[in-house]
Amino acid sequence: MKFFTYDISKYTVRQLVALPVALLVISFLFLGFNTLTTGMPVDPGIDFAGGVAVTIPQSADTPADLEAYFSGYPLKSVGEGVNGGYYVVFEYMPDEDFLTLSELINDRYPDAKVDQIGETFGKTLQAQALWALLFSFIGMAIVVFIVFKNFVPSVAVVISALSDIVITAALMDIVGITLTLGTTAALLMLIGYSVDSDILLTTRVLKRKGKFSEKMQGAFRTGFTMTSTTISAVALMFVVSWIGQIDVIRDISAVLLIGLFVDLMNTWMLNAGILTAYVGGDKR
């Protein structure tokens, strides 16, 4: 079967960048609104907000039973655990409430495992994770500028990577994926994936000889093959973790899946559009 073509000459620069730029602006506004109203751009999980996580082994109770039983406490979510059990998360609560909750849990679920993360410790982890994202992004930007020594192509790579993270974070919040240590790690991985595909595109266009459209098509064939292979592997990881009820791996793979599809758009529309304007296409 013939590989479908990527004919960039069919589109103007405005057509290429319109959708990615619009989504980037909307995502910035969405995350900014969240930050102003809640203090965080994405709903934080127990790792960052603090709270209580209860792992209940196999139980005949239904989620409705659990919600009724713990109705006097700030219950955040009831998820399925391993072997018919449950993973119950509560928001942060004072020590007195935590002690009474622990007694309530022990009375009905003596084999349950109770973990508490303090609010102060959660905020410390939150700050460290945000600094890790910031320094990783700054480090990536510095390396890109050193490699290309050319302002416009370097900015295109950095903007595409930034757009990947911002749009993915907004979609995370929309679909209900919380910001945890695991999903923060997934966002850090996305920086690497994004830079990989963008550098491939930029290197092919700037350093190879030939018609601009042909160089674009060659870069697209290689880049799309790389990204689609990664998407297939991550999709399999998501399915296995969902069936096995491994929540951490499921959330990480979900964030990576969202980010990889966003990266396809940003690389082959936003970055490609900027390069088209910079190089001039095939002198069109």
Spell out the per-residue pLDDT of the chain, length 284, in tens. Answer: 445 667 777 888 898 899 999 999 999 999 999 989 888 888 888 877 778 888 888 777 888 888 888 888 888 888 777 667 888 888 888 888 888 988 888 888 888 888 887 766 667 777 787 888 888 888 888 888 888 788 888 888 889 999 999 999 999 999 989 888 889 889 988 888 888 888 888 888 888 888 888 888 888 888 888 899 999 999 999 999 888 778 889 999 999 999 999 999 999 999 999 988 888 754 44
**Residue-level pLDDT at 235:** 95
What does the block give as tokens for 88?
């119950």
d(Cα 51, Cα 45) in Å, to the nearest integer? 9
Q: What is the pLDDT of residue 281?
A: 57
CB count within 10 Å of CB 225 equals 11
- pLDDT of amino acid 121: 67
**Do the Cβ atoms of 48 and 120 come closer than 8 Å?**
no
Whole-model pTM over 0.75: yes
* Helix or strand (DSSP H, E) at 132: helix 119-148
DSSP code of 260?
Answer: H
Identity of the residue numbered 26:
I
Residues 266, 194 contacting (CB under 8 angstroms): yes
Q: Pick the closest to residue 278 from 206, 217, 220 (CA basis).
A: 206
SS3 state at 116: strand
Task: State the Cα–Cα distance between residues 78 and 207, nearest whole angstrom.
Answer: 54
Q: Tell me if 195 sits within 8 A of 161, measured CB to CB.
A: yes
Size (the chain), residues: 284
Paired residues of 51 in beta bridges:
91, 117
